[in-house]
Amino acid sequence: MTEFERMQREIEIEERWLRGLGERAAPAGLADRVKAAVRAEAGRIATPSRMRQLARWQGALAAAAMLALCTTVIWRGSMVERARVERVLLVEQFARSLEVVDATDASLAALGEEIDSVCSSSKSELDASIDELGDSIESVAIDSKSSM
Amino acid sequence: MDRQGLADVIRRAQLLEPAALEALVDAYSGRVFGFVYRMIGSRDDAEDLVQEVFLRVTRMIGRYHDDGRFESWLFRIAANLVRDRARRFGRQPGRIDVQPAENSNGGGMDGFAGRNEAPGHALELGEDVSGLSAALGQLPAAEREVIMMRHYSDMSFKEIAEIMGTPLGTALARAHRGLQRLRELMTESVDTTTKLPGEVRS
């Protein structure tokens, strides 16, 4: 048996002897007094503790709000970009519309000229026909008078 | 309280649940009182210190990391408070001079002996002195601390050595020396009290 083991063995024997002397119980009411003090202390520190818990939640809420703000900014940014693209498309469409209008104007002008030319040529032909018709009528009338 | 039950109580106590804190008081106040009382020798002061121990537990349990050594943590607080108190009084914790009980209640060698109110009396810290308390009071504080921690807690010598900041061998040696001296003192005490008046010790 080593010195260490001998010492441990002797300690165990003496500890058993000490336990055999019996134990004095704690004074009556001590636990109740301590409990009351502990309860009061817990109540005293619970309030700041709850505040700390709330602060922890506030932190989480602040983080959530920041996240929401960032999302909104990004979303708004994408909306602005989309609006910008739509504006460019609108201008391009407007420009294309102007070209169409120009082309239509030219076609209309050509058509007008054509109508004018048709009208003017038809009028001169009609006039000639009417003249011819008048001449014919006059010659018919002269012939009738002479045969009578 | 089994290990799992204790872990659950500690977890709830960390949330400052009164019922859990009270469960800890129920489970440990008796043993903490025994330790503190044996260290300082005064019942009233021991009661105050026990209350202070559990108030500190209440304040600090939120920072306690449950590694299954709650008892070690608790008795460390108790031992520190005993030492703080001794420092405040500028002397060793519980250095008690043995005084005969003036008003013994006949509670045997471990019984409380009533109050000794005489100012300037040789009692330094203790008021209730008799038998085992008196014998313990004659031991050096370090030896008494090891013996009482072993007696009132389930701590190993290794844990006690850690709490006291000493090597394991020193803690064992203190316990060994202290217990032997304690038995000698108790035997002497019994011999003295059983001798008839005027009888001379051989």
A15 contact residues in B (CB cutoff 8 A)? 150-151, 179
Contact B179 A14 (CB under 8 A): yes
Contact B29 A46 (CB under 8 A): no
Contact A26 B54 (CB under 8 A): no
Higher pLDDT, A113 or A53: A113
**C-alpha pair distances (Å), B189 with each of B102, B159, B198:** 16, 32, 16
User: Does residue A14 belong to any structural domain of this protein?
Assistant: no
Of B54, B132, B147, Cβ closest to residue A21 = B132
User: Does residue A41 belong to any structural domain of this protein?
Assistant: yes
CA distance B36 to B175: 17
CA distance B113 to B104: 4
Domain range holding A86? 35-147
pLDDT at B102 over 60: no
pLDDT tens, residue by residue, B182-200: 888 888 766 665 554 444 4
Burial A39-48 (b: 16+ CB within 10 A, else e): bebbeeeeee
How confident is the model at residue A51, as a pLDDT?
A: 66
How confident is the model at residue A34, as a pLDDT?
A: 94
Residues of B with CB under 8 A from a CB of A: 16-18, 21-22, 25-26, 29-30, 33-34, 37, 43, 47, 50-51, 54-55, 57-59, 62, 108-112, 132, 147, 150-151, 169, 172-173, 175-176, 179-180, 182-183, 186
What is the average pLDDT score of chain A?
A: 84
Choose the weakest-confidence range: A21-30, A40-49, A97-106, B158-167.
Answer: A21-30
B130: Cα within 13 Å, side-chain hemisphere: 21
Of A11, A17, A37, Cβ closest to residue B51 = A37
B51 contact residues in A (CB cutoff 8 A)? 33-34, 37
| Contact in structure between B49 and A37 (CB atoms under 8 Å) | no
pLDDT at B113 over 50: no
How confident is the model at residue B123, as a pLDDT?
A: 38
| pLDDT bucket at B55, cuts 50 / 70 / 90 | very high
Domains of chain B (ranges, CATH numbers): 3-194 (1.10.1740.10)
Instruction: Work out the angle at residue B158's Cα, subtended by the Cα atoms of residues B153 and B162, and round it to the nearest 5 degrees.
Output: 90
A20: Cα within 13 Å, side-chain hemisphere: 8
Show Cβ contacts of residue A61 under 8 Å, excluding neighbours closer than 6 positions: none
- The one-letter code for the residue type at B74 is L
Choose the weakest-confidence range: A60-64, A96-100, B17-21, B138-142.
Answer: A60-64
pLDDT tens, residue by residue, B122-142: 333 343 346 787 888 889 989
Higher pLDDT, B119 or B49: B49
ipTM value for the complex: 0.70
Of B21, B34, B175, Cβ closest to residue A11 = B175
**Rg of chain B in Å (alpha carbons):** 18
User: Does residue A6 belong to any structural domain of this protein?
Assistant: no
Going by C-alpha positions, the residue among B78, B75, B76, B71 that lies closest to residue B6 is B71
pLDDT tens, residue by residue, B141-187: 899 999 998 888 878 899 899 888 999 999 999 999 999 998 888 88
What is the average pLDDT score of chain B?
A: 77
State the DSSP code for B140. -
A21 contact residues in B (CB cutoff 8 A)? 109-110, 132, 186
User: Does residue A11 belong to any structural domain of this protein?
Assistant: no
Show Cβ contacts of residue B156 under 8 Å, excluding neighbours closer than 6 positions: none
How confident is the model at residue B130, as a pLDDT?
A: 63
Contact B21 A10 (CB under 8 A): no
User: Does residue A22 belong to any structural domain of this protein?
Assistant: no
* Overall number of domains in chain A: 1
Contact A15 B179 (CB under 8 A): yes
Higher pLDDT, A144 or A79: A79
How confident is the model at residue A50, as a pLDDT?
A: 64
Closest approach of chain A CAs to the CA of B121, in angstroms? 25
pLDDT tens, residue by residue, A37-63: 999 999 988 776 666 667 767 778 888
User: Does residue A123 belong to any structural domain of this protein?
Assistant: yes
Counting residues of chain B whose pLDDT is more than 70, the rounded percentage is 73
| Contact in structure between B67 and B150 (CB atoms under 8 Å) | no
In a mutational test of the B interface, the residue from A2, A19, A34 whose CB has the highest number of chain B CBs within 10 Å is A34
